[in-house]
Amino acid sequence: MTALKELFDLSGRVAVVTGGSTGLGLQMAEAMAEFGAKVVICARKADRLATAEAKLREAYGAEVLTVACDVAKAEAVASLHDKVMERFGGVDILVNNAGRAWVAPVEEMPLERWQQVFDLNITAPFMLAQAFGRRMIAQKKGSIINIASIAGLVGRNPDAYNSIAYGASKGALVNFTRDLAIKWARHSIRVNAICPGFFVTDINRKVYDERPEKIDREIPLGKPGGDSDIKGAAVWLASDASRFVTGAIIPVDGGTTAW
């Protein structure tokens, strides 16, 4: 019988976290580093990546590779893949976290913004899974964690959060997770999704500051997620502790979807 601590150990594994320089992405990168993984973080802004890299090295002694790129672009995904392979020779964990939203009433949503949200929230995870999945197939193992949202599971009160493109794209990511899990189970690749509830991050801080009481009332625990509240789920899904879990959709939402 494997000791429980060993099941959660990520020592020697390579974890790629997109959007890993701030917010939930940095939370999960920290968690992977704390449990021993070599961490690759990518984001568009090099200065934020440098700050995150310093934190991961100083706090956890992690081996870190940072790549400044826009994963909504196919050529950037290919370049990221090549840099990871050159540095580490493989990948064990892919966290598709990079995402965006555009808040507007449905009747006023610009088509251009709708497309940008879909490009990053669902097309990018497809391209990244395809690129790194080929290596996982060859090595007959891997864990892909898609960061969806409770907005992809239920309709949302527009008084609290009004982004039809975000909810629709995250709903697509939820079913992408389920379908890919079935298709790649034969390769011993596990594919799961975390659906965060409301966490205050750079992507939605303005929204929260404008209406904190309305948003808090939507959460049974009465407050947004904190700065370590997604770490446990991420490490569990990345590690052997969840080796019999695939196709799962895990809400981390303070009870919001239990209403």
At 231, phi and psi to the nearest 5?
-65, -45
Q: Is 189 within 8 Å of 130 (Cβ atoms)?
A: no
166 is catalytic: yes
Q: At what angle do helices 231-238 and 23-34 cross, to 10 degrees?
A: 50
At 27, phi and psi to the nearest 5?
-55, -50
Q: How many CB atoms are closer than 10 A to CB 109?
A: 17
Cβ neighbours for 62, distance < 8 A, ≥ 6 positions apart: 33, 37, 38, 39, 56
Residue among 60, 161, 166, 208 flagged as catalytic: 166
Cβ neighbours for 87, distance < 8 A, ≥ 6 positions apart: 40, 65
Tokens 């992809």 label which residue? 152
For residues 73 and 69, what is the distance between their CA atoms, to the nearest angstrom? 9
Q: What size, in residues, is the chain?
A: 259
- Catalytic positions, written as ranges: 166
